Amino acid sequence: MSATLSRDPGLVATGSRAGRLAGRLWRALARTHGRLGTVGMLAAAFLIAVALVAILAPLVAPYKPNAEDLFSINAAPSSSHLLGTDDTGRDILSRLIWGARTSLLGPTIVVGVATLIAVPLAAASAWCGGKVDVAISRVLDLIFAFPGLLLAILIVALYGQGLLPCSVSLAIAYMPWIARVARSGLLRERNKAYIAALDVQGLPGLAICLRHLIPNIASIIWSQVTISFGYALVDLAALSFLGLNVQPPTSDWGVMVNNETALLDGHSMEVIIPCIVIVLCVTAVTYVGNQLSDVDQRAAR
């Protein structure tokens, strides 16, 4: 029933606080391993590493991203430039590291905003039912009808290019997907006896939603969020490709992939490497998301 590592909570371990903290961390790690599997743990570790690199970019990157070195244009990988340089002498590795910031920030804004709007809407829909549910569902249907990229182009045309307009427009486009998944999970939980019991107790509806309903579908939402993150990463790169998102010379993976002249000239490093990194990130995120949603389905006894 309980994991082999957990002990009777009544037994307080004697020993240092650090020891107890380490024990709790170890148990949390074991629980996560149970949920994600070994590959999932590796994927999650990879993602955490990428995020850390992005945050610590100034410390990690050997060069500034836009520092040009006109003496070593299109250089092959060497000890001073581990991945070589591009056509204006900028270090590809540093651009990759600095590029992680915008490339990861964008999707984070997208899924963050989308979830913050989607989950309360879904909760209101599921809890109140009736006319509220119908109204919200119609609004979601309307947004579903719009392809995300089209909406982004429209909003960019209105508000100009850049990370924020693109991210917010994609957030709006992604919101119904998260809302739909959240709503069906919430509806299923809402019909269970424990929610009825809390209702009969007299607990206010908001408290039931926040404290009981939403936490119980957290892993569904979480898995949908991680999958959306992957899609957002690709979509934002596509928007960069179209010239609507981050503009050159800012290093952004999408911008780097955009450099078709480099490909034609035969200097493919600066295009292929970001491509590979995008694929790896999306795969890792999607894998973790899948694992989380599997666990939830298995746990539904």
> Given the complex with another protein, which of 94 and 293 has the nearer CB atom?
293
Task: State in angstroms the smallest separation of the CB of 127 from another protein.
Answer: 13
Taking CB under 8 A as the rule, does residue 1 contact another protein?
yes
The only residue of 58, 130, 202, 266 in contact with another protein, by rule CB under 8 A: 202
Rounded CA separation 125/141 (Å)? 13
Examine residue 192 and tell whether it contacts another protein (CB under 8 A). yes
Single out the residue of 18, 193, 264, 266 in contact with another protein (rule: CB under 8 A): 193
Determine if 199 is a binding residue for another protein (CB under 8 A).
yes
Interface with another protein (CB under 8 A), residue from 16, 38, 79, 201: 201
Is 58 among the residues that bind another protein (CB under 8 A)?
no
The correct pick among 154, 194, 249, 260 for binding another protein (CB under 8 A) is 194
Q: Which of 197, 210, 272, 279 binds another protein (CB under 8 A)?
A: 197
**Minimal distance, residue 27 CB to another protein, in Å:** 14
Is residue 130 part of the contact set for another protein (CB under 8 A)?
no
Taking CB under 8 A as the rule, does residue 298 contact another protein?
Answer: no
Determine the Cα–Cα distance for residues 19 and 15; give it in Å rounded to an integer: 6
Binding mask of the shown chain, residues 204 to 223, with x at each position contacting another protein by CB under 8 A = x------xx--xx-------
Kindly state the tokens that stand for 180. Answer: 């739909």
What is the pattern of x (binds another protein, CB under 8 A) and - over residues 5-24? Answer: ----xx--------------
The residues of the shown chain that bind another protein, judged by CB under 8 A, are: 1-2, 9-10, 192-194, 196-204, 211-212, 215-216, 301
